[in-house]
Structure 1
Amino acid sequence: MATSTCTFLHLADVHLGYDRYNSPERSKDFFLAFRDVVRRHAIQNPVDFVLIAGDLFEHRQIQPGVLNQAQIVLRELKQAGIPVLAIEGNHDSRPYGVKTSWLRYLADHGDLILLEPEAGEEGLELRPWSGGRGGYLDLPCGVRVIGSQWYGSAAPKSIEQLAAAIRRLPPGPERVVLMFHHGLEGQIARYQGALRYRDLLPLREAGVGYLALGHIHKSYTEEGWIFNPGSLEANSTAEWDFPRGAYRVRWGEGPPQAELVQDYYRRPHRRISLEAKGRETPEEIAAAAIALAKGSDLPEGGPAPMVEFRLAGQVGFAKHELDSRALQQQIQQLTGALLVLFRFEATTLEIGSAALSLEEEGRRLQIEEKIYRELLSSHAHYRKRSEELARLLLDLKEKILEEQGEAEVYAHLSGAFLGEED
């Protein structure tokens, strides 16, 4: 008997409630992207079901308006008769000591199906979804979907337990999807706690044919069975160049066929860079920046762009002598940008001194790292991670010197200790 074709939309890292730049319009972008991709690629072009592989929300505690945004989209899918299956990611998992989460709230109100394994005598157990609870669901189109949770540093061990639990399941559809919120190594720089490909192989051996990942905000696939769509919107300027979107998947005979769809609402962005030579005055730097902004190729019509202005090279004045706030305002007026983000990455030279050469700068960083490492090694609790933590301290110093916000620095620090991505 021929296998029927099943079609589904795979989303992850929606991050409703995003508030990094304290801009209501920027926060709304994440809702608009979610609603538009669902309307275009799940409702207008119907699918059998939708997957959300973690991080529907930006925060574990959310405002009523953010909950309303989620319900608007989920109820449109419900009215169209399209089930939504979801798991918790690190951003929207239940806080420590709390028995419920906002995803559980949505599940209890019938807005989505939350698939969660349970702790059992043999490790993790998967029970059929029934009455609002369960770890897996067999869908009419001939696909079994299995859920998981955010496991952090315990992910490798949890994978082994999940694989064993999958093997114990009763016979069902041969096409098996597992939602798993974790990252694969080698995909982005400076991400600690990523899984190795071989860590995931027990899942394939247990019969998983489509591993629906989330967590890393960049789209990637591996070996025809691992798929990560990336976030719908960029959470930082560092992610602007990442490929991202949602996977629209057709699965009939043979392996799943996943297409990355990107034609939905997204805030445009542009970068403006200026390389200083060390001889310019602050006024000359500002004038050059304005000239670049006037000549920049910015989109016409549609949403106002995000603009990043980056000052690199060498400057012969103190950072505070450049009125960056006034410069941001001028660039915003010229470009019509929603936000202008200022990055002061130039080396500041003292009057009468020479800049450090690249070689000297490298030696300074090595000395700093060595001092951090020796201090950490003297403490029994940190000794085994002294090299990793020394590098983390250098990263934190760099972020603070760049005047990054407290929330961004805290998120980076949390990611280092929990294996999270910012």
Structure 2
Amino acid sequence: MIKVLHVSDIHLGSGLSHGRTNPETGLNTRLEDFIKSLRTCIDHALSEPVDLVLFGGDAFPDATPPPYIQQAFASEFRRLGEANIPTVLLVGNHDQHSQGRGGASLSIYRTLAVPGFIVGDQITTHRITTRSGEVQVITLPWLTNSALLTRPETDGLSSGEVNNLLLQKLQPILEAEIRRLDPNTPTILLAHLMADRAKLGAERFLAVGKGFTIPVSFLIRPEFDYVALGHVHCHQNLNPNGTPPVVYPGSIERVDFSEEKEDKGYVLIDLEKGNTQWEFCSLPVRPFLTINVDVSDKEDPQGAIESAIAQKQIPEAVVRLKYKLRSEQIDQINNRALQKALSFAHSYSINPELVSQLARPRVPELGEQVTLDPITALKTYINNRDDLQEISEEMLDAANKILNEESDQEIESLKSKEQLNLL
């Protein structure tokens, strides 16, 4: 049995707007959070110890991170090299230049020939000798249109047609790798991609580049004992009722509020031919907290907001306060008091939203299940519009006049029809 640690989407250097400068280190506190989570993953790999580490791509937010962020990444992964633990670093979309060629942020490890480190920037099979036996790892980095297709091949095609053409190009390439596998050696497909059944997280909003969607059925092959995925930040197994497991470990930290309710962590695998077991290991990441409150109908909007804050306090969380109010309530809000109430937070943002006077809720008496005569319905509407009270009588008189005229016209029409029938 071969022990493998699968981690992905580290994004070291992301989400700095949610942090502050640590006066002791000079680093952004959110960067320190990401480093701490990465260190926890590496600590587990060393303490287990595991036989192999797989990184599923997206080391940084882009292909050219600042040197101090590259150094933080290298410092943690270097410990694996020192412990003689083979490591595969797959190239994700954020590791590539905008043209989609080369893994600029990770290729340095190949250039320096770091012992035991493999950079997966092309579709190929790596045969790795670990302390517990041999393992085969097929690397499938993030692929853009230009990686498999020429411009003339894509001219005039819709995105769906390009996606199908890309799959037609990819299938024989991957099939060729599978045919060269040793059937008696455990095999892992390590891929950075968007699978069609995946539940999305923050990658929906990040600059993901031009890629394509791959059907899960494309990945479920009897030759694979485990499919290690990267790119999607929400942990999930896309083949829960069968083999092989098709697993996104998710990102190791929350990038933004779209991941507020997601668990973060990595995956520990017991790899065995035909009998692979795995478990998700949660990381104690910093909580994100959204406080939503509507005070547009409150007599004391300030008190209502402070009460909502008091009920949701989570020490050292990244907090987003969102409240709705009417324009005439603005002077009743004390921002300094709100900032004081949010002092428990690691960082916070305050986002007020004005409620339009024209955007009133539907009057309950006029629901879909209620039938009212036109005059009663109009009275109900007027009673819920303060700005129409002064002209309410004129509106009702006009409505009665219109309805009476329509009634007279209907009577005359009926009389005419009766006379025609008599003839």
Shorter-normalised TM range: 0.5 to 0.7
1:144 pairs with 2:136 = yes
Indicate which of 330, 340, 351 corresponds to 1:330: 340
- Answer whether contact 1:271 1:308 (CA < 8 A) is retained: yes
Q: Is the 8 A contact 2:3 2:51 kept in 1?
A: yes
Q: Tell me how far apart the structure 2 counterparts of residues 181 and 203 of structure 1 sit (CA, whole Å).
A: 12
Please tell me whether residue 188 in structure 1 is matched to residue 178 in structure 2. no
| Residue of structure 2 in register with 1:260 after alignment | 280
1:341 aligned to 2:346?
no
Q: Give the letter aligned to residue 275 of structure 1.
A: D
Q: Deviation of residue 356 (structure 1)?
A: 5.7
Residue type of the alignment partner of 1:291: S
Pair 1:143–1:327, CA change in 2 (3 A): farther
Query: Which residue in 2 is equivalent to 1:36?
Result: 40
Distance, in Å, in 1 between the alignment partners of 2:140 and 2:107 is 14
Letter of the 2:297 counterpart: R
CA drift of 1:355 comes to 1.8
Structure-1 residue corresponding to 2:258: 238
Q: Describe the SS at the equivalent of 1:241.
A: coil
Following superposition, the deviation at residue 234 of structure 1 comes to 0.9
Structure 1 unaligned runs (5+)? 118-123, 127-134, 359-422
Corresponding letter in the other structure for 2:174: A
Task: Give the 3 Å change call, closer, same or farther, for CA 286–255 of structure 1 in structure 2.
Answer: farther
The letter of the residue matching 1:267 is R
- Tell me the amino acid that sits aligned with residue 217 of structure 1: H
Q: Distance in 2 between matches of 1:232 and 1:179?
A: 18
State the Cα distance separating 1:206 from its structure 2 match.
7.0
User: TM-score, structure 1 length as denominator?
Assistant: 0.68
- Structure 1 residues 103 and 311, CA, compared in 2 at 3 Å: closer, same or farther? same
User: Counterpart of 2:140 in 1: which secondary structure?
Assistant: coil
Cα distance change of structure 1 residues 357 and 268 upon mapping to structure 2, 3 Å threshold: same
Between the aligned partners of 2:60 and 2:334, the Cα distance in structure 1 is 33
1:309-324 paired onto structure 2 within 5 Å: 309-311=321-323, 315-317=325-327
The residue that corresponds to 1:82 in the other structure is: 85
Report % sequence identity: 21
SS at match of 1:102: coil
Q: Is the 8 A contact 1:162 1:203 kept in 2?
A: no
How much has 1:102 moved relative to structure 2? 1.6
CA shift at 1:317, angstroms?
A: 1.5
Could you say which structure has the larger radius of gyration? Answer: 2
8 Å Cα contact 2:110-2:119 kept in structure 1 = yes
Cα distance in 2 for residues equivalent to 1:244 and 1:156: 31
Among 182, 190, 193, the alignment partner of 1:179 is 190
Number of positions where the alignment pairs a residue of Structure 1 with one of Structure 2: 322
**Paired letter, 1:34:** L
**Cα gap change, 1:211/1:296 in structure 2, threshold over 3 Å: closer, same or farther?**
same
**Matched residue type, 1:288:** A
CA contact (8 A) 2:319 2:349 kept: yes
Task: Tell me the residue number matched to 2:30.
Answer: 26
Structure 2 unaligned spans of 5+: 20-27, 146-162, 206-210, 364-423
Q: Distance in 2 between matches of 1:292 and 1:202?
A: 48
Pick aligned residue for 1:209 from 225, 228, 234: 225
Contact 1:50 1:82 in 2 (8 A): yes
CA root-mean-square deviation:
3.1
Amino acid at match of 1:310: K
Distance 1:323 1:209, change over 3 A: farther
Task: Indicate how the Cα distance of structure 1 residues 176 and 159 shifts in structure 2: closer, same or farther if over 3 A, else same.
Answer: farther
Question: What letter matches 1:113 in structure 2?
Answer: I
- Whole-angstrom CA distance in 1 between matches of 2:318 and 2:30: 9
Shift of 1:29: 1.2
Instruction: Tell me, in whole angstroms, the C-alpha distance in 2 between the residues paired with 1:322 and 1:172.
Output: 72
Matched, 1:13 2:31: no
Change (3 A) 1:170 1:342: same
Identify the match of residue 279 of structure 1 among 293, 297, 308. Answer: 297
What's the offset of the Cα at 1:172?
6.2
Q: Distance in 2 between matches of 1:138 and 1:331?
A: 55
Equivalent of 2:312 in 287, 292, 296: 296
Aligned to 1:130: none
Task: Indicate how the Cα distance of structure 1 residues 38 and 280 shifts in structure 2: closer, same or farther if over 3 A, else same.
Answer: same
